[in-house]
Amino acid sequence: MDINMERPNILLITTDQQRFDTINALGNKKIFTPHLNWMADEGITFNRCYSACPVCMPARATIMTGKEAYTHGLTGNNNDYLPMRDHITFPKLLTENGYQTRAEGKLHFYPMRATYGIEHADLPMDYFNEMRKYGKHSTRRHGVGENEVEPFINTENEADSLTHWIVDKSIDFIENRDPTRPFFLWTSFTKPHSPLDPNLSFWEIYNGIEMPEPAMGDWSADMDTAPLGFYKPTFQLNNIWRMSKAQKQQIKRAYYACISQVDYNLGLLFARLRELNLLENTWIIFTSDHGDLLGDHNMCAKTNFLEGSSHVPLLIKPPAEFGSSNPGYAGLQCGKITTLADIMPTILSICGISFHGQLDGNDLLRYMEDGDEKEFYGNCENKYFAVIDKQFKYMWTWYGGEELLFDLENDPLERQNLADLTEYNPVKEKLMGKMVENMKKTSPQLTEGNKPLAGEKINSHRDISRFPGFNTTLFPRDSFH
C-alpha cells in the first residue's frame, strides 16, 4: 500500500470573528450548534485559546506560520508587510511532503490570490463573481458595510448563501480529490463576521429566546469615565454603545443565527466525510481568527484583549480509529493557555512532518499532557498589549497608557478593574514587567527603561470616529474587517 494512504487527512475549519462562548455543549444553552457539539463530545476542547493579535490578517498569518504577530511582524490589517513571504507555512510543508492541499472560503492574505503553499484556493470573490451572473450582488451594493452591527435578514435561499457555497466547494474537493494522496482542506467561513445577515430560517429558530446580557463592569458602565483608549475600534466601526437593551438583543440574535447557519452547513460536510468513510482517518480542527465583543462593556468588534475579542474556541476531533484507541480524548477539556500559533506545530506533528525552525506554538497533543503552562503575550497594532497567566490578565494601551487588570479566576466577565487598587500593585507591576520585556524584543521603540511609552489620550469618541455609522462615500470600501 502507498504510504500516503496511511497518512492522516487534515480538515481545518475556521470561522471569522466567533467568540469563545458560542458553543452549546460548552455551556451556552441559548445557541444551537449540534455539529460543533459533536466535535466537543468526540474530541478535545481547549478552553483557554487566545488570538494574540485579534484582527483577521495577523491572526491568519499566525495560523499559517506558527508565529505570533509580534514575531512575524504583521500586527494589523494592512498590506505593508507580507509575513508569509518571509516565513515557512505549514501548507507549504504539507504540499512538499505529498499532501494535496486546498482552501475554500476566506483567506484574507495579500496579495489576495496568494496561497503561500496551498495548491488551490476558491475565495469569496469567486462566489460573488458567479452570483453577479444571476443579478445578485454583495451586501455593499445594498448599502450594508462589513462592520455594522445592525441585523439585516437575508431572504435569499440558504443554498445560494456564501456559507453554503463554501461547504459545497469543500464537498466537491473531497469527492474529486486525488485518492492516492492524503489531503489538507481548509474550510474557512466568513461568518459570523458582520454584516449580520443570516438567512431567515436561522433567524427564526431564535424566536422567543432571550439572549445573554452583555458583560458590564465597574469601569465600563459610564462612558464619561471609561478608559476610552480601549474603545477606539468600537468608535471607528459602529455605534453599539448608543443602542438599547432590546437592540443589543437583536444584534446577538443575528450573530447567533449566523453561527447556527455555519453549524448547519458543517453537518453537510461531516455527513459527506462519513459517507465516504473519511472520518476514519481525518483529524478535524475548529477555531476562529478572533472574537467579537458583541456589546460587552459597550464595545463591539475586536482588536483589544478583552475576553470577547481575543478568546476563541478551539476543538480538535481525532479520527474515529484514533479516538477508539484513545477513549480519554472524547469530551476531554484542557484548561491550559493556548494560542492560534499552536495549530501549525500540532498539524505537523499529526502528519509526522519534522520542522526544525523556530515556532512560537506547541504541539497541543503533547502540551496538554506534559508541558508546563505558557503565558500569553498579545500585541495588536502596536497599540494594544496584554499578558495573561493562570489567574490574571493585564492590558495596556498606547492611547494614554490606560490599564486594565482582571482576576479571571474569580471574575471571568471582567467586571472589576483591579489596576488602580493598591493591594494589586505587585501583580500589576509583575505583569507589566513581563509585557515590557516582550515589547523590548518586538517593539523596542515603545519602551523606555522598564516602562512602556504612552501616546495621546482619547477624551471623546468624536476625536476618533472614522465615519458616521453606515458605510458612506467617505469610506465606501471597508478594509478594516
User: Would residue 143 count as lying in a domain?
Assistant: yes
The boundaries of the domain holding residue 165 are 3-375
Q: How many domains does the chain have?
A: 1
Q: Is residue 139 part of a domain?
A: yes
Convert the pLDDT of each residue in 252-289 to its tens digit: 999 999 999 999 999 999 999 999 999 999 999 999 99
The arithmetic mean of pLDDT across residues 147-173, rounded, is: 92
Say if CB 198 and CB 254 are below 8 A apart.
yes
| Average model confidence (pLDDT) across the chain | 89
Gap between the Cα atoms of 293 and 303, Å rounded:
10
Residue 413 lies in a domain: no
**CA 180 to CA 99: how far, in whole Å?**
10
Who contacts 96 (Cβ-Cβ below 8 Å, separation ≥6)? none
pLDDT (tens digit per residue) in 364-389: 999 998 878 999 999 999 999 999 99
pLDDT at 477: 38
Q: What is the pLDDT of residue 479?
A: 34
Residue 453 DSSP label: P
Q: Is 469 a domain residue?
A: no
Residue 465's pLDDT band, with cuts at 50, 70 and 90, is low
Distance in angstroms (rounded) separating the CA atoms of residues 168 and 170: 5
* Closest CA relative to residue 331, chosen from 33, 40, 26, 34: 40
Determine contact, residues 235/404, Cβ cutoff 8 Å. no
In this structure, is residue 382 part of a structural domain?
no
- CA torsion sign for 51, 52, 54, 60 is negative
Distance CA 382, CA 389 (A): 21
Q: Is residue 362 part of a domain?
A: yes
Determine, yes or no, domain membership for 447. no
Choose among 331, 347, 348, 342: nearest CA to 371: 342
Separation of alpha carbons 41 and 25, rounded Å: 8
Output the pLDDT for position 327.
63
CATH number for 165: 3.40.720.10
Q: Is the pTM of this model over 0.75?
A: yes
Is 80 exceeded by the pLDDT of residue 453?
yes
pLDDT on residue 139: 66
The DSSP result for 118-129, as a single string, is: -SEEE-HHHHHH
In a domain, 210, yes or no: yes
Rounded-to-integer distance, Cα 381 and Cα 396, Å: 13
